[in-house]
């Protein structure tokens, strides 16, 4: 088989498959409302008080609507609902802290959304002050916040610096004007540059950019120009995501012209070109879709084999527990996943009634932990020893015998190598590592899966 033929086979056979992004296992569609506040309280009480945790704070509001976005968000045209949300968020923080076995240490704190900087600076400060009263934020903790350069004010920039944030993320996506108009996110390069410079001036040393390929009217040329402009701003990390067109989940995506979306081979060409350009600009490729400068903590974690994956994507966070506050936020304890109520009104009513606002979740079985470990290793390290994983989780060494034919087929197609029990992803297989990981997903039904395509 010639390399070109192999690539063609991969495109036809694997790249259009609908598979999860595997920011968790089991994935969110497996969460059930059978998991409730009582079970969450039990899981919280069982936490080791000596182990640091991560804290995730979710703000579902945005000041402007982006059509490509698949996040659970609300368009905010007035300040009052956001201000009320901030008050309830503080109650949620206190409610969570009340259910913990001790005053827990925080090693990572992340504000996400939506757009957290939709809050006014005073509300952001009030929430952070409460967190510091109820938790021990470690001196070397990473404090990260997502932001929108279209609405980030100089006052908020100053407050972010004063509060000691160490990292800020921007959704750049694409700088081409036609593409921006097609996704309703118009932000010229100079606007982003001013926001980046402003945050660096107040001491925020880590800058993350998100880029997206597969957008309407996007081409290799437009994306390469975007990468060039981004590289000039020198973000410490770049995430290069494939646009997930799931209008059955994200109704605002119905505003996007599907005829203008690139096909699988065009998406692959865009992803490969952007990745090559980022590597040529000095970035190290990590996992499926992340890039980092060599001195960034994410690159160092990858080099040490400690790259992790959670609901924020790839991370160097080693905490085994991530707790979420705010409507629709997701968290994990060693034994479970929990997601808060998504609808802000129902979430607020639960919090105000003094009830942990859990909407659904998933209790992890031993087999879930085993399969989740294998999937995370493939997504993060690109290799896993299947027998070693079995021993770690108390399973027999041939636990994967029923999926061995699928692995043999992938090895024949050049996606993986299987050296006795060590499974390694090849260069050909890296773009479809989610498909490779999906072989270990006991819940995935190809006939009913409603996920985005693999590339």
Return the domain boundaries, the chain: 1-19+365-455, 27-325
Element holding 40 (H helix, E strand): helix 37-45
CATH topology of domain 27-325: TIM Barrel (3.20.20)
State residue 72's pLDDT score. 76
Residue 320 burial (CB count, 10 A): 15
Do residues 436 and 379 touch, judged by C-beta distance below 8 A?
no
**Strand partners for 210:** 171, 239
Do residues 286 and 299 touch, judged by C-beta distance below 8 A?
yes
State residue 455's pLDDT score. 62
For residue 24, the number of C-alpha atoms closer than 13 Å in the C-beta half-sphere is 25
Q: In what order do the strands lie in the sheet with 167-173?
A: 284-286, 290-292, 237-242, 206-213, 167-173, 136-147, 105-113, 53-59, 322-325, 330-333, 336-340, 358-363
Closest C-alpha to 4, from 428, 426, 406: 428
Tokens coding 87: 């008050």
> DSSP character for 165?
-
Helices (H), 135-212: 154-162, 177-183, 189-201
Do residues 356 and 324 touch, judged by C-beta distance below 8 A?
no
Question: Which residues 6+ apart lie within 8 Å of 321 measured at CB?
Answer: 47, 51, 53, 54, 331, 332, 333, 334
Do residues 173 and 210 touch, judged by C-beta distance below 8 A?
yes
- Whether cis (ω within 30° of 0) applies to the bond prior to 305 is no
292-304 confidence digits (pLDDT tens): 999 999 999 999 9
Low-confidence ranges of the chain (pLDDT < 70): 1-11, 446-455
Dist CA 409 CA 394 (whole Å): 27
Q: Does domain 1-19+365-455 have CATH number 1.10.10.920?
A: yes
State residue 416's pLDDT score. 97
């Amino acid at each position: 088989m010639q390399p070109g033929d192999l690539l063609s086979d991969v495109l036809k056979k694997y790249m259009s498959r609908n598979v999860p992004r595997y920011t968790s296992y089991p994935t969110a569609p497996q969460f059930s409302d059978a998991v409730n506040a009582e079970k969450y309280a039990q899981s919280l009480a069982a936490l080791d008080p000596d182990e640091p945790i991560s804290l995730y704070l979710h703000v579902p509001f945005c000041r402007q609507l982006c059509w490509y976005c698949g996040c659970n968000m609300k368009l905010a045209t007035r300040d009052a609902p956001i201000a009320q949300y901030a008050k309830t968020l503080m109650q949620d923080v206190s409610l969570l802290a009340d259910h913990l076995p001790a005053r827990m240490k925080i090693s990572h704190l992340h504000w996400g959304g939506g757009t957290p900087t939709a809050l006014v600076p005073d509300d952001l400060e009030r929430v952070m002050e409460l967190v510091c009263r109820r938790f021990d934020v470690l001196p070397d903790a990473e404090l990260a916040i997502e932001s929108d350069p279209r609405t980030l004010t100089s006052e908020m920039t100053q407050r972010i610096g004063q509060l000691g944030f160490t990292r800020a993320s921007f959704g750049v996506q694409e700088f081409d004007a036609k593409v921006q108009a097609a996704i309703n996110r118009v932000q010229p390069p100079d606007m982003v540059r001013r926001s980046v410079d402003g945050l660096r001036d107040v001491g925020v040393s880590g800058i993350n950019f998100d880029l997206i390929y597969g957008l309407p009217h996007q081409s290799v040329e437009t994306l390469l120009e975007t990468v060039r402009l981004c590289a000039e701003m020198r973000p410490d990390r770049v995430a290069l995501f494939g646009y997930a067109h799931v209008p059955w989940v994200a109704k605002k995506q119905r505003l996007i012209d599907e005829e203008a979306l690139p096909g699988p081979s065009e998406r692959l060409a865009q992803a490969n070109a952007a990745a090559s350009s980022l590597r040529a600009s000095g970035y190290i490729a990590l996992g499926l879709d992340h890039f980092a400068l060599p001195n960034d903590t994410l690159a160092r974690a990858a080099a040490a084999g400690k790259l992790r994956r959670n609901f924020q994507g790839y991370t160097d966070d080693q905490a085994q527990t991530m707790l979420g506050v705010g409507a629709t936020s997701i968290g994990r304890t060693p034994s479970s996943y929990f997601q808060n109520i998504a609808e802000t009104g129902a979430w607020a009513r639960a919090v105000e009634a003094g009830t942990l606002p859990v909407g659904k979740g998933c209790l992890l079985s031993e087999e879930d932990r085993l399969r989740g470990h294998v999937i995370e290793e493939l997504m993060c390290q690109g290799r896993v020893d299947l027998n070693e994983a079995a021993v770690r989780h108390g399973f027999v060494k041939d636990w994967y015998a029923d999926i061995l034919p699928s692995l043999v087929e992938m090895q024949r197609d050049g996606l993986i190598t299987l050296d006795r029990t060590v499974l390694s992803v090849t260069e050909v297989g890296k773009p479809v590592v989610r498909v490779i990981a999906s072989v270990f997903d006991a819940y995935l039904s190809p006939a009913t899966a409603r996920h985005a395509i693999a590339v």
